[in-house]
């Protein structure tokens, strides 16, 4: 009898992926609490390893390190809570490092059972964690410049995706009977490029969202005004606003991108559903495509609510955090869809090779 899932070796990358998602959520909390620069250097914070830094200590640090003064100026002071959120985010990254190393060692020891692909996936996650920590330093070094925030989020999503791939690969070797593994080879080969384009579109939209939220310290979120319909679906009361303002231009790019991604997802789902009729093992693939589209629709509604329910100078930041989580969830759903297609193809080839040997 197979042991419960939580006692299988594959639970390690799954728990790591969940932990990484928690780190992303805490990272989003940093932005909505305006704490992105509350630790002026890395890896220490105001020259200490703790988060309790008084206003007097902050002032003394600025006096001794004038080159570290951020965009808010030397007179700005951060609350202990703001510093704690940034400190806690860094602590989580440090805590996850140990199980990541253990994951590499465990995958190497179990190479004969799970294959070199799983071992390389574990190594990829370890390398990406180091790269991600470096990106965190770069983000602090450049005072949360928009490109650094987008890079930091993108790497975090790739980190989670790599762990999910490892989990799925291990579960398949452990005998998981997932329906998509039975999808016909001709179906997979005919629609793989379409699925990849859906995933790429969702990924680009996620980067655009990070760009909007971080540009000009997040002030571009209000470039299109607020309320219904002037703030959304219109922008400054117009469907096609003037793009002279950088903020309006970035907002328009994000909204246009969301519409284009929606079109790609809808067409992709329609084609997959049409081609899956009567095909064994394709229903799970279609459901994953529908899940991706549903997450996109949910996130569009959250983004719209963020502007509709906002007041000038007063935005419901919890909706901004939910918007981030929704975007990450849509991307991970799209990656699950891509992995399902990839594993289905490799499983089909493996079964065919086994049949030829017999």
Q: Does the pLDDT value for residue 346 go beyond 60?
A: yes
Q: Which residues of 171-206 are buried (b: 16+ CB within 10 A; e: fewer)?
A: bbbeeeeeebbbbeeebbeebeebbeebbebbbebb
pLDDT band, very low/low/confident/very high, at 222 (cuts 50, 70, 90) = low
Q: Which two tokens stand for residue 267?
A: 């067409």
206 or 218, which is more confident: 206
Condensed to tens digits (0 to 9), the pLDDT of residues 260-307 reads 999 999 999 999 999 988 888 899 999 999 999 999 999 999 989 988
**Which letter does DSSP use for residue 76 in this model?**
-
pLDDT of residue 349 exceeding 60, the answer is no
Report how far Cα 27 is from the mean position of its chain's Cα atoms: 11
pLDDT at 216: 52
Are 50 and 87 within 8 A, CB to CB?
yes
Q: What rounded mean pLDDT belongs to the chain?
A: 86
Predicted local confidence at residue 71, as pLDDT? 74
Higher pLDDT, 229 or 266: 266
This prediction has a pTM of 0.87
Q: Residue 68 — very low, low, confident or very high, per pLDDT cuts 50/70/90?
A: confident
State the Cα–Cα distance between residues 23 and 36, nearest whole angstrom. 14
CB-based contact 206:342 (threshold 8 Å): no
316: three-class secondary structure by DSSP = coil
Across the range 154-181, mean pLDDT stands at 92
Q: Which of 1-5, 115-119, 158-162, 287-291 has the lowest mean pLDDT?
A: 1-5
pLDDT for the residue 354: 40
E-strand ranges in 47-149 read: none
Reported as a pLDDT band with limits 50, 70 and 90, residue 355 is very low
Lowest mean pLDDT across 97-101, 255-259, 351-355: 351-355
Q: Residue 48: beta bridge partners?
A: 45
- Are 309 and 148 spatial neighbours (Cβ–Cβ below 8 Å)? no
Question: Of the candidates 334, 342, 335, which has an alpha carbon nearest to the alpha carbon of residue 293?
Answer: 334
Quick one: tokens of 341? 């297609």
pLDDT band at 350 (very low <50, low <70, confident <90, very high): very low
> What angle separates helix 317-357 from helix 11-32, to the nearest 10 degrees?
160
What CA–CA distance (Å, rounded) separates 51 from 224? 36
**Does position 341 have pLDDT exceeding 80, yes or no?**
yes
Q: Which residues pair with 311 in a beta bridge?
A: 314
d(CA 238, CA 257) in angstroms, rounded, equals 18
Q: Report which of residues 306 and 223 the model is more confident about.
A: 306
Stretch 234-238: mean pLDDT: 84
Alpha-carbon radius of gyration of the chain: 23
Indicate the DSSP class of residue 238.
B
Number of H helices, E strands in the chain: 10, 0
Separation CA 20–CA 265 (nearest Å): 26
Per the listing, tokens 């291990």 go with: 170
Identify the weakest region by mean pLDDT among 50-64, 216-230, 271-285, 303-317: 216-230
Q: Long-range pairs for 143-147 at CB < 8 Å and ≥24 separation?
A: 143/37, 143/70, 143/71, 144/36, 144/37, 144/214, 144/217, 145/214, 146/210, 146/211, 146/214, 146/215, 147/211
Burial of 34 (C-beta count, 10 Å sphere; 0-12/13-18/19+)? middle
CA 127 to chain CA centroid, Å, is 17
Residue 155, pLDDT > 60, answer yes
E strand map for the chain:
none
Write down the pLDDT at residue 334: 96
Mean pLDDT, rounded, for 143-153:
82
Which pLDDT score, from 0 to 100, does residue 352 have?
Answer: 42
User: Are the beta carbons of 50 and 350 closer than 8 angstroms?
Assistant: no
Q: Hey, is 237 helix, strand or coil?
A: coil
pLDDT tens for each residue of 294-332:
999 999 999 899 888 888 667 788 888 899 999 999 999
For residue 347, name the pLDDT band (cuts at 50, 70, 90). low
Overall average pLDDT of the 154-183 stretch: 92
pLDDT at position 141, please? 78
For Cα atoms 100, 105, 111, give the angle at the middle one, nearest 5 degrees.
120
């Amino acid at each position: 009898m197979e042991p419960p899932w939580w006692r299988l070796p594959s639970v390690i990358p799954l728990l790591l992926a969940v932990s990484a998602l928690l780190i992303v959520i805490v990272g989003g909390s940093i932005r909505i609490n305006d704490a992105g620069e509350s630790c002026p250097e890395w890896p220490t914070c105001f020259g200490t390893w703790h988060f309790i830094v008084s206003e007097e200590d902050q002032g003394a640090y600025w006096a001794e390190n004038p080159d570290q003064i951020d965009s808010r100026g030397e007179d700005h002071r951060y609350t202990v809570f703001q510093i704690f959120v940034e400190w806690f985010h860094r602590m989580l990254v440090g805590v996850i490092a140990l199980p990541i190393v253990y994951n590499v060692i465990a995958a190497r020891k179990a190479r004969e059972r799970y294959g070199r692909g799983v071992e390389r996936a574990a190594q990829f996650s370890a390398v990406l964690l180091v790269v991600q920590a470096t990106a965190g330093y770069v983000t602090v070094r450049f005072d949360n410049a928009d490109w650094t925030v987008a890079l930091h989020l993108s790497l975090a999503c790739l980190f989670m995706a790599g762990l999910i791939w490892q989990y799925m690969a291990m579960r398949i070797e452990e005998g998981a009977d997932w329906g998509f593994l039975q999808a016909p080879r001709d179906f997979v080969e005919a629609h793989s490029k379409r699925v990849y384009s859906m995933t790429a579109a969702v990924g680009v939209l996620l980067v655009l969202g990070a760009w909007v939220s971080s540009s000009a310290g997040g002030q571009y979120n209000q470039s299109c005004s607020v309320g219904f319909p002037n703030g959304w679906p219109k922008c400054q009361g117009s469907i096609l606003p003037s793009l002279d303002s950088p903020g309006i231009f970035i907002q328009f790019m994000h909204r246009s991108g969301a519409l284009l991604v929606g079109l790609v997802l809808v067409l992709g789902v329609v084609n997959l559903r049409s081609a899956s009729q009567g095909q064994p093992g394709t229903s799970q693939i279609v459901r994953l495509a529908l899940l991706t589209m549903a997450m996109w629709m949910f996130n569009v509604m959250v983004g719209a609510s963020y502007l509709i329910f906002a007041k000038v100078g007063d935005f419901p930041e919890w909706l901004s955090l939910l918007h981030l989580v929704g975007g990450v969830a849509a991307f991970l759903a799209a990656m699950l869809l891509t992995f399902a297609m990839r594993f289905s193809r490799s499983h089909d080839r493996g079964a065919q090779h086994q049949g030829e040997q017999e």
